[in-house]
Structure 1
Amino acid sequence: MKRRGLMYMLLSGCVLVCRLQPDGFVRRFHAVAEKKSWADAQSYCREKFTDLAGIGDPSQNAAAWQAAGKGEFWIGLFNSDWKWSQQEDLDPSLVTTFSYWFLGEPKLNCATVSSFGIWSTQDCRAQSYLMCYSADSNRHILVTQKMSWSDAQTYCRSKYTDLSTVRSLKDNLDIASLLQSLISLKDPIPAAWIGLHRNVWMWSDASNASYRSWADNQPDMGGNKDCVEMKMDDHTAGWSTESCSNAMFFICYSDVRALALRSVKFQLSGGSVELNDPALQDAILLQLQQKLGAAGIREGVKLRWRKQPDGKVFHRAPPAGREEEPGIHI
């Protein structure tokens, strides 16, 4: 009877504790001391780990810094590709490679066309004329009311089809010709929004983390600096933009299941059963696993006995009344 009672106590205690086990993940960062372009670093991280480092808060930034130490390392943040507003409808015919950028462009994230037909970028919140496209009449329409790019997109979609897509030199000349009617002493080179834009910063793993740790005077969008590195020394770990073709070290990440160690201790009294018999201890662990399974806990839990310094699990209470307690690790 005493042996059966012992098993019941262990089983009951285990079930109560095992329900507290976490099922979350912990992010681990891995610094790779091989110099690669951003795209090659991304491929390497996806093959060997999960992806290029995604950093969602200050604690993860500190962990990446600790993993890499000093130097310059790619992380997973990048400036997304350019796309046309009408491409959001997934019409393959709207994909075009035509462009007519001014020297040094693109720098910002929303595009305009000038009365000379030259493309440049503006802050998407800036106020500008807009060029809409009507699929019904197959023509571009100049709207002389000034608004932001997103408001221009909404306006064109509500009144016509969308902001204009420039597929060819002819489209470009047609738009420039419409803008020439607005030339004045106050506005010698008028420009209008077109549908070309990019969604600014994205993470390689497509997470939506908004945390940023930019260094001073960053991000610098000049010179096609569309990928982000982490620059670290003894005191700071700031982010900077660089050309994606540059070769440098990089930081990968992997998410591993979080492990928690829990100890259940018992005080037993009386009985002649040899509790340090390995066969008896194995039988108890087996019944514990069966009890957990019956409670619906079948994965992510491992049980083992904790041995005392002398190699035993259970100790008789010493004469002074002090009690050494057995334990089980979960």
Structure 2
Amino acid sequence: MSSDQISTFSFLFSAQLQCACDCRYLVENMRREICILVPLLLLLPPVCGQVSRLRPNVTFHKYLMNWTQAQLYCRENHTDLVTIRNETENLDKFHGWIGLYRENTSSDWKWSRGDEIATYFPWKNDHPKDGENCAFTKEDGKQWLATKCESHNQFMCYEENLVLVKENKTWEDALMHCRTLEAVDQSKPATDYQNHRYDLATLLTVDDLTFAQETAQEAPHEVWTGLRYLAGQWVWVGGEPGPPKNINSCPTQRFCGILRKNGSLDIRDCMQKRFFLCYKKPSS
């Protein structure tokens, strides 16, 4: 990696990896001990200019359904009806049912996905009204309206590609959790070889890191990623290219990669317990 490339990406990785090691190599019949200082930057060069594969994918459906039917369709064919938490996520290209609903007039508004309490409401004037408990957007997508859930509308589903699991687990237990979330071939266990749809998250691009950082804000501390030191090199367990194969580093313990809440990557003992990020593997 050139000095210009290192300068370009240095703002992403403030921490350096210092390995106290006792590595023995046989070179021309001579044994020697080597201690190596390896910047984490050199292990993880992000790819610039690429859109994150981790952000949700929104699909617009023109079928006319009531809110409950649309919710069921999205859950069977995607992840759920779309969730919109802030102005940045608000959609101006599509219109129809969104995942926002309430049980009755006195109830909190919630999102269909996980029954998360909603906090962002760009309602059109005079909305919502009594008895109107499901939300939809009009053509411009900027303002929301409420209507009876039995009404028929087009709707928007989304695919969730990155999941923050709010359970404290070791790195290996976190890996197993991700890989058992969903099977590629539903007729076989997700634990079968290469039959897992999810894995511990791989963060290849700058936007991957940015979106993962946003997602990790809900965690109390840093979170596990799919980075692991194996067989003398750093690898992403999902199999994606990324860390160079010729980095000479030799941690004295089992080290795995974490994402800090400030967006930087670092390493920790794999036996520590923390929240973790699972991601949906790209289709081959």
* TM-score of the two chains, using structure 1 as the length reference: 0.37
Work out which structure has the larger RCO, using CA pairs closer than 8 Å and 6 or more positions apart in sequence: 1
Report which of the two structures shows the higher radius of gyration computed on alpha carbons: 1
Identify, as 1 or 2, the structure richer in helix. Answer: 1
